[in-house]
Chains A and B, each alone.
Chain A
Amino acid sequence: MEKSFTLRVLKSLNRKSWLALGLFLAVTLVVVPVLHLLVPPENAFHVSAYAITLFGKIMCYAIVAIAMDLIWGYGGILSLGHGLFFALGGYAFGMYLMRQIGRDGSYQSDLPDFMVFLDWKKLPWYWSGSDSLWWVAFLVIVVPAIVAFIFGYFAFRSRIKGVYFSIITQALTYAAMLLFFRNETGFGGNNGFTDFKRILGYSITSPDMRLVLFGLTALMLAATLVFARWLVTSKFGRVLTAIRDAESRVMFIGYNPLWYKLFAWVISAILCGIAGALYVPQVGIINPSEMSPANSIEIAIWVAVGGRGTLIGPVIGASVVNLAKSWFTVSFPEYWLFFLGLLFILVTLLLPHGLVGLWKTLRQSRGPRT
Chain B
Amino acid sequence: MREFLRKVVGIDPEKCAPEYRVGYPGKQRTLDLSHNVILYLDDISVSFDGFKALNKLTLAIDAGELRCIIGPNGAGKTTMMDVITGKTRPDSGTAFFGQSIDLTRLSEPEIAHAGIGRKFQKPTIFQQHSVFENLELAMKTDKRVRRSLLARLRDEERDRVADTLRQIRLDTEAERPAGLLARPEAVAGNRHAAGAGAAASAARRTGRRHDRR
Which stretch from B10-18, B32-40, B52-60, B144-152 is at the chain A interface? B144-152
Instruction: Please name all residues of chain B whose beta carbon is closer than 8 Å to the beta carbon of A239 when the two chains form the complex.
Output: 137, 143, 148
Q: Which residues of B contact A1 (CB under 8 A)?
A: 150-152
Q: In the complex the two chains form, what is the Cα distance from A5 to B128 in whole Å? A: 26
User: Are A246 and B124 touching (Cβ within 8 A)?
Assistant: yes
Given A248-B124, A253-B196, A254-B143, 13 further pairs, Cβ under 8 A = A3-B152, A5-B150, A8-B152, A234-B149, A235-B137, A235-B149, A236-B149, A242-B129, A245-B127, A249-B125, A251-B107, A252-B85, A259-B145
Indicate which residue in A231, A238, A251 contacts B133 across the interface (CB closer than 8 Å): A238
Residue from B108, B128, B137, B145 with most neighbouring chain A CB atoms (10 Å): B145
Q: Is A310 an interface residue (CB 8 A)?
A: no
Query: How many contacting A-B pairs (Cβ < 8 A)?
Result: 83
The bracket for how many chain A residues form the interface is 20 to 34
In the bound complex, how far is the Cα of B110 from the Cα of A253, in angstroms? 9
Chain A interface helix/strand/loop/mixed: helix
Q: Please determine whether A238 and B136 come into contact, CB atoms closer than 8 angstroms.
A: yes
- Residues of chain A within 8 A (CB-CB) of B109 are 251-252, 254-256
Any B CB within 8 A of the CB of A241: yes
Give A196-254 interface residues, CB cut-off 8 Å to B: 231, 234-236, 238-239, 241-242, 245-246, 248-254
Chain A positions near chain B (C-beta within 8 angstroms)? 1-3, 5, 8, 231, 234-236, 238-239, 241-242, 245-246, 248-256, 259-260, 263
A105 to chain B, nearest CB (A): 46
B4 at the binding interface (Cβ < 8 Å): no
Within 8 A of A (CB), among B181-213: 191, 196
Which residues of chain A come closer than 8 Å to B129, judged between CB atoms? 238, 241-242, 245
Chain B residues, Cβ within 8 Å of A260: 145, 148
| B112 in the interface (beta carbon within 8 A) | yes
